Amino acid sequence: MKSMTGYGATRLDVPSIKASLTTKAWNNRFLELSVQMPGYLGSLDRRIRDQVESRIARGKVELSIRVLGGDMPTDVVIDAASARSVADAIRNLAEAAGIDEPVRLSHILGIDGMLSYERNVDADVLWLELSPAIAACLDAFDAEREREGEETRIDLAGKLASLEAALDIIEAATPDIEASIRSTLRARFVEVMGDLVDEARILGELASYLAKHTINEEIVRLRSHIGAFRKAMDEPVCGKKLDFICQELNREANTIGSKSADPRISEAVIRMKDAVENIREQVRNVE
């Protein structure tokens, strides 16, 4: 089990490139990946995304690659035609304004686009150097997520125990409640019909009433869902499945509450629903 939130960082220091890498993430229903890096690394964007997406299933993830230096060759391109046009325009402007001042290089460099810089990036070679650094950054990120995930697992185990304790109370009370239903229903028949009580009719009415109000099936399903929840917690990516199981747990608890008005069961149902809600809050942090 891993948390969706985490942070990891590493540094890359090879002759061609020196960089710092960070990965951080927040909760999100799906994977939303943002890669921040210099534009000249754009040719590696798809490879970087594939590497990250192979390691992370859910969350709002931000990978930052900050280049600090290196010996990557750089071409400087001069826009000579535009520079000449700008110089001519400056001369004409000076003449029109009656200013006797020569055109200086600083005047031209102040105009955007006169010089441009292009990195000579060999994508394949650079990828061989960058990919291990990304892997190391993700390793640190995963270690943090696993640590938080283990803490979440321990907390979930405690909340599941509370849920089971409430369910034990309900299960223990069920036989007494069914016996009370039988006794009450029989007493009403005797009160209305006296000595003319039809035993077969009593049994038929009792079976119909118990079918509507018995909670044995809900108890069985709840225990099955709890077992499925524990099993799912061992899966590498389990957040969505755990959230779905929580919905089923809540549904069964609501059904039990609607079927029985016994104070013991009503109180236990409240405890169960509170435990399920707390579990769902934690599950929303799980990848």
What is the 3-class SS of 169-217, one letter each residue?
HHHHHHHHHHHHHHHHHHHHHHHHHHHHCCHHHHHHHHHHHHHHHCCHH
The one-letter code for the residue type at 261 is A
**pLDDT of 75:** 66
Rounded CA gap, 253 and 94, in Å? 85
Between β-strands 31-36 and 59-69, what pairing exists: parallel, antiparallel or unpaired?
parallel
Question: Which domain covers residue 83, as residue numbers?
Answer: 74-118
Is residue 99 in some structural domain?
A: yes
Q: List, for residues 262-283, the tens digit of each pLDDT value.
A: 788 889 999 999 999 999 999 9
Residues 16 and 133 in one domain: yes
Is residue 127 in some structural domain?
A: yes
CA 34 to chain centre: 15
Residues 190 and 128 in one domain: no
Percent of the chain at pLDDT above 90?
55
Q: Which two tokens stand for residue 133?
A: 């650094």
Average pLDDT, the chain: 87
Residue 50: exposure state from Cβ atoms within 10 A (0-12, 13-18, ≥19): exposed
**pLDDT of 259:** 81
* Contacts for 260 with CB less than 8 Å, ≥ 6 apart: 177, 213, 215, 266
Q: How many CB atoms lie within 10 A of CB 84?
A: 11
Residues 63 and 94 in one domain: no
The answer, yes or no, to whether residue 209 has pLDDT greater than 80, is no
The CATH number of whichever domain residue 25 belongs to comes to 3.30.230
Is residue 83 in some structural domain?
A: yes
Q: List, for residues 233-254, the tens digit of each pLDDT value.
A: 999 899 999 999 999 999 999 9
Residues 79 and 92 in one domain: yes
Residues 93 and 179 in one domain: no
Q: List, for residues 77-93, the tens digit of each pLDDT value.
A: 788 888 888 888 888 88
Count of domains observed in the chain:
3
Q: Which two tokens stand for residue 218?
A: 């809900």
Q: List, for residues 106-160, the tens digit of each pLDDT value.
A: 888 888 877 776 677 788 988 999 999 999 999 999 999 999 999 999 999 999 9
Residues 151 and 278 in one domain: yes
The radius of gyration of the chain from alpha carbons, rounded to an integer in Å, stands at 35
Residues 132 and 235 in one domain: no
**pLDDT of 105:** 86
Is residue 131 in some structural domain?
A: yes
Residues 154 and 271 in one domain: yes
Residues 246 and 139 in one domain: no
Percent of the chain at pLDDT above 70?
84
Residues 169 and 139 in one domain: no
Residue identified by tokens 């079918």 is: 211
**pLDDT of 227:** 95
Residues 66 and 161 in one domain: no
Rounded CA gap, 253 and 276, in Å? 9
Are the beta carbons of 133 and 51 closer than 8 angstroms?
no
Q: What is the dihedral of CA 218, 223, 225, 228, to 10 degrees?
A: -160
Residues 139 and 80 in one domain: no
Q: According to the per-residue pLDDT averaged within each range, which of 179-188, 200-209, 235-244 is highest? A: 235-244
Question: Residue 22 forms beta bridges with which residues?
Answer: 9, 64
The per-residue DSSP string of 124-183 comes to HHHHHHHHHHHHHHHHHHHHHHHHHHHHHHHHHHHHHHHHHHHHHHHHHHHHHHHHHHHH
Is residue 1 in some structural domain?
A: no
Phi, psi values for residue 232, rounded to 5°: -65, -30
